[in-house]
Each structure stands twice: as structure tokens, then as C-alpha cells.
Amino acid sequence: MEFVLAPELESELNRIVGKLGFYHIRTKNIVIFRSFGSKSRAIARIWSLPKIWQIALGKEPYYCLEFVSERFDKLSPADKEKVFIHELLHIPQNFSGALLPHKQKKKKIDKRTVEKLYLQLISKT
């Protein structure tokens, strides 16, 4: 599998974060990649820099967004935005380097939540 930096997706990240008011997300601490050759069924994944690595490396929290090129690139613009939203929902409010699971007590990361946020996004366009 190959990973390639995808800086061309940073403007989309910034636009979605800004329009949805995800002010807890430090976009400068998110690195975006396209992956090629994945056998996974995933369209995208989010990777974190856990606390122990932050301390060991003397770094602040970072996240990597990986978009599986073979799947993501074929999507419509609307579906690409929904994938972005889904992955960003995994980032906790304290931007700690942790990842939120799909099933939480207060807020689930599911199609309904993503669709609701997508409708907010397009209404602000």
C-alpha cells in the first residue's frame, strides 16, 4: 500500500470545518493522505497520535485523514463531503489525539448524524 500527501484536499477540510463550526479542530494539525492499493473496504480512515507518542516525541496532538483513492475518488462531491464529515466526527472536543468510537452515549457517528450535518453544510453554501 502506498500513501501520498494530498494537500489539494486541505481547502475542503478548512471549508467544512469553518462552515460547520467545528472550532475545536485545529486544521493545521491534520495531515491528509490518499492511499493506493488498499485491500480494505473502507473509503476513509482517521489516524491519531496517541498521548504516549505525543509525550515521547514532544509533539502536540495530530490526526491523519486517509482517503482510499480507489473508493473515495469515485464518489460524488456530496458523498465526498459526507465522508469528510464522518471522519471529523471521530475527533473529540478537546482535540487530544484520541479518537471517538462510532457508538457513544451522547452522540453517535452514523448516517443520520452525518446527513444532518451535511444538510447544515449545504444550507450555508
Tens digits of residue pLDDT in 28-63:
999 999 999 998 899 999 999 999 999 999 999 999
User: Structural domain tally of the chain?
Assistant: 1
Q: Residue 117 is part of which domain span?
A: 2-123
Distance of CA 108 to the CA centre of its chain: 15
Question: In whole angstroms, what is the distance from residue 84 CA to residue 77 CA?
Answer: 11
For the whole prediction, is pTM greater than 0.75?
A: yes
Residue 26: CATH number of its domain: 3.30.2010
